[in-house]
Structures are given as C-alpha cells and as structure tokens.
Amino acid sequence: MPYWLPSVALSLAIIYLWGGTPFWVTNGWLTGGWALVLYAVLVAVPLIVLGVMAFRQRLGNTPPPPLQRRGWRLANCWLGLLLVWSLTVILAGWESYDFKDSLWPWTEHYHALGWVESLRQMTTISNYTPLYNYFLVMLGQLGLTRTATLYAIKYLTLLASVALAVAVALIVAHVRQKPFSWGLVIGSLLLPPVIMESALWAQCDAIYTALCLFAFYAALKHRSRTAMVLVGLAFATKFQFIFIVPVLFLMLIVKDADGRPYLRWRDLWLAPLMYVVNLWPVCFGADIVPILTVYWGQYDGLYLAANAATLPMLTNLLLRYLSPLFPCGMSQLGWDVAYYVHFGLGLLAFGLLLFVASKRTYRHRPDPAGWVNYALLFALSMPFIMPHMHDRFCFMAAVLAMVYAYCQPSRRNFWVMGLVVGSQTLAMFPFLHIDLLPYPWPLLLATIANLVAWFIGLDGLNRTPVCQHPVPPQ
C-alpha cells in the first residue's frame, strides 16, 4: 500500500468531521464555552506526548528508514492523533443514558452531602465500586457544572484509553520481539469501540480493561507480583475483570519452556488485597457489607441480554417473535426458565472450554502468541455464551482482537479482528440513535459476527502456537 494513502484517508476524515457534516453544529455539541476550550487543551496534552515520543523513536531508528517513508509515517502519526482529538472534542457534549440517569445525579448528590457524608453514604447512592466513586465524590466537591462534569468523566476515560492503547502496543512488541509501535497505539485509539467508550459513553470499561491488559503483559514478562496487583485493582474497579482471569489461571498452573513460572501461587494473595482500596468509606461510618457485596448489588433481575451481541440475545429475539403464538404471550416463568437454561449451558460450555485449554496448555506450553490466542478466546467466550450480559461487555474482546491480529498477522486473524470489533460497534448503534438498519437487524448481524469469530477462535485451539519443546505427557 502506498505510504501516502493513509495520510489522504485521515485528512479526508478530519475534513469531513469539521466541514463535511453539520452534526456538531445542529446538535449544539460545541456550545461548552470555556469548559470545552479547557477540555480540548487537556485532551491534546496526552496526544501531543504520544506524537513527540513517536517522533523521537523515528529519529532514533538504527538504521533510519528512507527519508520519504519516515516522513509519510510521521504524517500518518500526527494526522491519526488529530483525528482522535477531533472525534473527542466534537463528541464531547454527547450525554449517554448512564450519565443522565446515574453519573450526574450521583455527583449532584455528593455535592450536596460534602466529603464525609458522601463517603459514608456512598453505598446507598451509587451501585459502582468505591474506587470509581472516589472520582465522582471529588467532582461533586469541586461543584462543577453539568457540562464540566461530563468533560471530566470523559477525560478520565480518555486517559484510560491511552493507557489501554500503550498496553496493546507493549504486548504486540513483546510477542513479536519487535520495536514498540506508536502507530499501533494510535490505531488502538481509533478503534470504534474505544472512541465510543471514551468520547461518547464516558464509561469505565477502558479503566479495568487497561489494568487487565497490563496484568497480562506483566504475566508474559514473568512479573508475578505486578500482575497480581494490577488484576486486583481491576477487580476493585469492575467485575468484568473476570474475563481475563481464565488465561491468568492457566498461566498460574503452567510454566514456560525454560521452566520459569509466569505467575507464582505465593503472590496470589496480592490480588484480593488490592480490594482494600474500596474499604476506605468504612473509616467514615459506611457499612462494610454493601461494599463487599457491591457487585451483587448491581444484579438487577433475570434477563437474557441487555442489547448484547450474544447467544442468549438470539434466544431473546426468537422468543419475542414467537410469543404471539402463545395464548397469553410469553409468561415470566418462561423467561426465567430460558435464563436458567442458558446459565446452566453457559457454565457447562465454559467449564468444558477451560478443561480443554488446561489440558492442552499442560501438554504443550504455549508461546506468547499462543497466550494471546487464549486471552482473546476467553474474553470473547465468557460474555458471548452467558446470559445477563450488556452491550459493553465485549469491549475487552474487541481490544484483544487487535492484539491477536497484530501478534500473528494473517488474513484469517484480521478477519477475526474485523468481526469482533465490527460486532461491538454494531451493538452500540441502537443507543447512539444510528439507524442504518431497523432494529433488531444491527444486533442480529453483530451476534452473527461474534458467532463466526467465536467458532474461528475455537478452531484456533488446534493452531495455538506452542514452544519448541512441548512437555511430555505424564
């Protein structure tokens, strides 16, 4: 591909955003005043740091690439960062349902209560973990406007997205034994799910995903204590950290080709210890039970899927279309039975997958690329086969799909990346009021894409790269 082609494509995208479409004017998304100006400057800071570091790496290459190639690559780098900045600033004023119904009311409540009462009553106000609520309490005490609070929450997610993108590039560089790629960092920031997570949704999935990816990277580097601390912090942030746990468990019971453990059992206590960061409100009179059971408090009844591109969603759509055939429609008992059937089958399928993966890793020790295969497979399988999943729960799988594709570049692997990332993007379309197709077609297509990627991933169990000297069976 010509080196100038990405530069042209990125330039056209930037021009279209600022001049080719009036949506940022007609929706009033650029009416934030000085708060938006400050937000735009703060967003530019980490992106400029990335661009400067990429520039220094290009200059320090030995031997340096040809001048023309280096020039186009640097142009692509800066244009990519400008596109990230443009998307983040233009979409700054978009408010998600979560912000309107949860994040902003919680912040207002904290503002009215003050520091001590906010910490004491935190578990009765919010159903998020205290670790994330500390940030909301701080915003509440600052007394920011609604718009400034929205920008602050989105900025935290942006910083987490930058950390996540760096983790992606670190893992790929380690697996392929090649220099760190700043282009891959920028590519990760431009993934549609990452843009939606930070610039649009202002959610916290990028935070726990970044922690999980750094924990996985530390495990690949045999840094057991660091990995345990990071996965413990991810556990203290959101329960969806569980999607990376199966591969870390395999790395706990399997050693590399040289007999070195990736993770050590004696360091395991560090992971639950990190949950102590959530216990600070107890010092101010908060009840410890709601803090320890905060994830159970997020459980809001039985349902097959919440706009998630999963197998239970297929059952949900099928039953909704078949319900008119029943004399009185689909009863609540019928929905509950469908939920528990899916839950049981999901546990069985996950247990079988973990057994097969454990047996295979014990007999044939995977190399780093093989561990990436397992990480993607489990991050996709768990939210895909289990009920009660939300649209954002495949976020980690979408990011790991990019790691998977660039660790072992091939047409097949890039298809997997396209399917998983495309599925996660389509699943978010209904909540973004993007009506390319009538509901539920975007969700149905997203589920089919995930299904194809899942089957390819299962087939990949037999193709998982292993070390040169597999362990003989005992």
The mean pLDDT values, 10 residues at a time, for the chain of 474 residues are: 79 83 57 82 94 78 58 84 92 86 93 91 90 94 91 95 96 93 92 89 91 96 96 94 94 87 94 93 90 80 82 86 63 80 91 89 85 93 90 91 93 92 83 66 88 85 58 43
- What is the CB neighbour count within 10 angstroms for residue 272? 12
Report residue 466: phi and psi, to 5°.
-120, 165
CB 389 within 8 A of CB 308: yes
- From the list 280, 356, 264, 295, the residue with the least C-alpha distance to 116 is 280
For tokens 């929205």, the residue is: 150
By DSSP bridging, strand 389-390 and strand 305-306 are parallel
Cα–Cα nearest to 346, from 395, 305, 287, 317 = 305
Segments making up each domain of the chain, as ranges: 1-99+146-288, 300-474
pTM of the shown model: 0.91
Helix 146-176 × helix 33-60 angle, to 10°: 10
Give the separation between CA 343 and CA 360, rounded to whole angstroms: 26
Q: What is the total residue count of the chain?
A: 474
Residue linked to tokens 């920028």:
186
How many Cα atoms sit within 13 Å of 239 on the Cβ side?
A: 15
Kindly report whether the peptide bond that precedes residue 440 is cis, defined as omega within 30 degrees of 0: yes
Cβ neighbours of 146 (radius 10 Å): 13
Residue in this structure with the two tokens 């940030």, named with its chain if needed: 135
The strand pairing partners of 306, in sequence order, are: 390
Burial of 177 (0-12, 13-18, 19+ CB in 10 A): exposed
CB 374 within 8 A of CB 247: yes
Phi, psi of 58 (to 5 degrees): -65, -40
- Both tokens of 319, joined, read 């039953």
Compute the 3-state secondary structure of the chain and give helix, strand, coil in percent, each to the nearest 5: 75, 0, 25
Taking residue 104's Cβ as centre, other Cβ atoms within 10 Å add up to 18
DSSP letter for 429, please. Answer: T
DSSP at 306: E
User: In whole angstroms, what is the distance from residue 97 CA to residue 78 CA?
Assistant: 33
Q: How far apart are the first and last CA of the chain?
A: 50
Task: Decide: helix, strand or coil at residue 42.
Answer: helix
Structure confidence at residue 72 (pLDDT)? 74
> Residue 393 gets which letter from DSSP?
G
Asked if 399 and 393 count as a contact pair (C-beta separation under 8 A), the reply is no
CA 116 from chain centre, in angstroms, equals 32
What's the pLDDT score for residue 385?
Answer: 92
Give 374's contacts (C-beta < 8 A, 6+ positions apart): 246, 247, 250, 357, 361, 366, 464
CA distances from 90 to 9, 55, 111, 120, 380 (A): 19, 26, 28, 37, 31
- How far apart, in whole angstroms, are the C-alpha atoms of residue 255 and residue 244? 18
Judge contact between 447 and 310, C-beta under 8 A. yes
What are 83-133's pLDDT values in tens digits?
999 999 988 888 888 899 999 999 999 999 989 999 999 988 988 999 999
List pLDDT tens digits, range 32-46: 678 888 999 999 999
> Collapsing DSSP states into helix, strand and coil, what is residue 463?
helix
pLDDT in tens, 279-331: 999 988 888 998 988 888 777 677 788 888 899 988 888 887 766 666 555 67
